[in-house]
Amino acid sequence: MGGKHYLPLSDEDRREMLSTIGVDSIEDLFSDIPKEVRLQRELDLPPALSEMEAINHLSALAAKNRNLGECTSFMGAGVYDHFIPSVIKHVTGRSEFYTSYTPYQAEISQGILQAIFEYQTMICQLTGMEVANASMYDGGTAVAEGAIMGCGATRRSKALVSQSVSPFYRAVLSNYFNSRGLELEEIPMKEGKTDFASLEEMVDETVASVILQTPNFFGLIEEMNGVADVVHKHKAVLIVSTDPLSLPLLQPPGDYGADIVVGEGQSLGVPPSFGGPLLGIMAARKKFMRQLPGRISGETVDKDGNRGYVMALQTREQHIRREKATSNICTNEALVALAAAVYMATMGPQGMREVAEQCMQKAAYAREKITALDGYELVYPGYNFKEFAVKVPGKPEELNNALLQKNILGGVDISPFYPELENTMLFATTEKRTCEEIDTLVRELEGWK
């Protein structure tokens, strides 16, 4: 039998315990299951593996993949190959953290409650918001929950989302809205950024929220000044999706009047993991705090006046409010939020800024070199953070296959999401990419076809 080493009961234990219970056999304990639905055979699963065999099997599966450590990656589109300091895995690997559950019992959960309280503060510092929650599943679900929150706060049922918001996020958003019977309209783009004139035209008193992303899906920094005025004029809320790693450099959304800030926090020390676990960021103005979904850690005192932390505002949540809760979220991404907090603590303001600057400088360098090549065109002008869209002289899939021969993971093919953009790829550069690696990419692109 597999997994014996996880099952402490011996046969003798079982016999003694069954006798204490007052039944003759294990089967007796299952006699309340109607005969008609009892499984009359053994489950048909692959044979059990010992620990050694399991490691071999999983290692063999892992070896069939080409991981980012084995090649040079220029893939982005929401998930990036950033450097992760060793400190992080040593903290998240503390079993007092990773083997615990949601901190329902505050007195023995002060560790994670304080860490989350600190994380919330860091997210507020980054975004210029007043409150943040303990995490959502990922950037896509954070956008969707932010939009639902916007509808709740305004009692309106329509959201406007820019086409420059990640198509991955819009897919999740439109699904959530469709299910709930909420209305979603897309704001068209102009030169790869939200068309401000259209936005102005579309927003009215039926609109709950306007959802923008900066840096947007094409890596472009959107012009945000003035947007909030238009949105607020109609008493709608401005929701901004952002990459937290851009914020040491960029104007924080709080400065230009955002009401709710969401985003993908994978940049903050989280491995790409084939797209999950990721980290949904959610922050807002204080006036929306009772509309926030999910867990929030709050400061309080114990009976002797000592500072301590508890899960705050639980009356918003499903375990108390049931169908009237602000969201159904229960399990979140707490351990990933802890990783992000450790990342921010380790990097500090200087390190965060340095990473952001290197990303930006390297993207500028790569963009200039690549778009100087014959047949490669910059799709949209503007200021890029760490990625940029390029029209390439052929099928992106074929180009990526050619690059793979040289151990390069090329760009993300974004043509499927924007039919008007034929043969267009998104190239991302993080602080990990060296000048030499970028030059090699440029050489390979030049030599292709």
Partner 1 sequence: MRKPKALIFEMGRSGRCGYSLPENDVPEKPVDQLLPESMKRSEPLDLPELSEVEVIRHYTELSTRNFGVDTGFYPLGSCTMKYNPKVNEEVAVLPGFASLHPCQPEETVQGAMELYYNMEQCLNEITGMERFTMQPSAGAHGELTGLMLIQAYHRHRGDYQRNKVLVPITAHGTNPASVTMAGYEVIQVPSDERGNVDLEALKEVVDETTSALMLTNPSTLGLFEEEILDMAKVVHDAGGLLYYDGANMNAIMGYTRPGDMGFDVVHLNLHKTMSAPHGCGGPGSGPVGVKERLVPFLPVPLVEKENDRYYFNYDLPESIGKVQSFYGNFGVVVKAYNYVRMMGAKGLKQASADAVINSNYLATLLQKHYHIPYDRLRKHEFVVSAKPEAKKGAGAADIAKALLDRGFHPPTMYFPLIVDEALMTEPNETESKETLDAYAMAMEEIAKDIEEDAEKVASSPHYTVVGRLDEVRAAKNPVLRWEKE
Q: Which of residues 374-403 bind partner 1 (CB under 8 A)?
A: 383, 397, 400-401
* Three-class DSSP category at 156: coil
**Can you tell me the distance from the alpha carbon of 11 to that of 85, in angstroms, rounded to the nearest whole number?**
47
* Residue 277 Cβ vs partner 1, minimum distance, rounded to whole Å: 4
Check residue 155 for interaction with partner 1 (CB under 8 A): no
Which of these segments, 186-194, 202-210, 352-360, 387-395, binds partner 1 (CB under 8 A)? 352-360
R_g over Cα of the chain: 25
Size of the chain, expressed as the number of residues it contains: 449
Q: 433 and 401 in contact (C-beta within 8 Å)?
A: no
Check residue 422 for interaction with partner 1 (CB under 8 A): no
Among 164, 218, 272, 391, binds partner 1 (CB under 8 A): 272
Of 150, 157, 327, nearest to 240 by C-alpha is: 150
Check residue 141 for interaction with partner 1 (CB under 8 A): yes
Site string (120-139) toward partner 1, x via CB under 8 A: xxx-xxx---xxx-xx-xxx
Check residue 90 for interaction with partner 1 (CB under 8 A): yes
Closer to partner 1 by Cβ: residue 201 or 396:
396
**Can you tell me the distance from the alpha carbon of 380 to that of 390, in angstroms, rounded to the nearest whole number?**
8
Element spanning 403, H or E? helix 396-405
Element spanning 368, H or E? helix 334-371
Q: 241 and 211 in contact (C-beta within 8 Å)?
A: yes
Can the peptide bond before residue 215 be classed as cis, meaning omega within 30 degrees of 0?
yes
* Residue 156 Cβ vs partner 1, minimum distance, rounded to whole Å: 15
* Residue 12 Cβ vs partner 1, minimum distance, rounded to whole Å: 9
* Residue 113 Cβ vs partner 1, minimum distance, rounded to whole Å: 9
Q: What residues between 12 and 41 interact with partner 1 by CB under 8 A?
A: 13-14, 16-18, 20-23, 26, 29-34, 36-39
Structure tokens at 110: 């002060």
Site string (219-248) toward partner 1, x via CB under 8 A: --x-xxx---------------------xx
Closer to partner 1 by Cβ: residue 189 or 340:
340
Q: What residues between 185 and 214 interact with partner 1 by CB under 8 A?
A: none
In one letter, which amino acid is 366?
A
Among 198, 346, 415, 440, binds partner 1 (CB under 8 A): 346
Strand partners, 213: 241
Check residue 164 for interaction with partner 1 (CB under 8 A): no
Q: Is 298 exposed, middle or buried (0-12, 13-18, 19+ CB in 10 A)?
A: middle
Q: Please give the backbone phi and psi of residue 268, each rounded to the nearest 5 degrees, phi first.
A: -90, 60
Which of these segments, 183-191, 196-204, 310-318, 371-379, binds partner 1 (CB under 8 A)? 310-318
